[in-house]
Amino acid sequence: MEQHFRYSKQDFVTGGGGLCRTSGSCSVTTSAPQSKFDRTLKAGWTDRMSRGLFRYQLGDLKTRVLPGPHCYVAQLNIQRGTERRKPQEILSIQQQYNGKTFNFNKINPEEIMFEMMRQPERNGHSHDDEEPFTFTRMVVLINVSPLEFGHCLLVPEPSHCFPQILTSFAIQTGIESVFLSSNPGFRVGFNSLGAFASVNHLHLHGYYLDYELQVECLPLKPLVPERGFYSLKDFPAGFSFYTEPEDLEKVAEAICQVTDFLVESNTAHNLFFTRGCPPCVRHNVREIESFRTGVRIVVWPRKSCFGAKEESAFNVALCELAGHLPFKNKQDYDHVTEKDVKAIIQRYLLPDEELLKLEQQLTAYLQDS
The domain ranges of the chain are 3-368
Cross-strand pairs, 186: 208
Query: Letter for the amino acid at 282?
Result: R
State the CATH architecture for 3-368: 2-Layer Sandwich (3.30)
* pLDDT at res. 27: 45
The reported pLDDT for the residue numbered 89 is: 84
pLDDT > 90 fraction of the chain, expressed in percent and rounded:
77
pLDDT of residue 84: 73
pLDDT for the residue numbered 282 = 55
- Separation CA 314–CA 328 (nearest Å): 6
- 163-183 mean pLDDT: 97
Residue (of 65, 134, 91) closest to 307 by Cα position:
91
Q: Which of 70, 201, 203, 269 is catalytic?
A: 203
- Provide the 3-class DSSP secondary structure of residue 10: helix
How far apart, in whole angstroms, are the C-alpha atoms of residue 294 and residue 273? 10
Residue 133, classed as helix, strand or coil, is coil
Question: What confidence score (pLDDT) does residue 281 get?
Answer: 57
Q: Which helix (H) or strand (E) holds 269?
A: strand 268-276
Task: Please state, in angstroms and as integers, the Cα–Cα distance from residue 222 to each residue in 163, 230, 240, 368, following that order.
Answer: 32, 5, 9, 16
For residue 20, pLDDT beyond 50: no
Q: Is 269 a catalytic residue?
A: no
Q: What are 91-143's pLDDT values in tens digits?
A: 899 999 999 999 999 999 999 999 999 987 765 554 444 444 445 689 999 99
Phi, psi of 174 (to 5 degrees): -60, -45
Classify strands 220-224 and 28-30 as parallel, antiparallel or unpaired: unpaired
- Mean local confidence (pLDDT), 201-226: 96
Question: pLDDT band at 90, cuts 50/70/90?
Answer: confident
- Phi, psi (degrees; rounded to nearest 5) at 352: -55, -45
Question: pLDDT at position 131, please?
Answer: 45
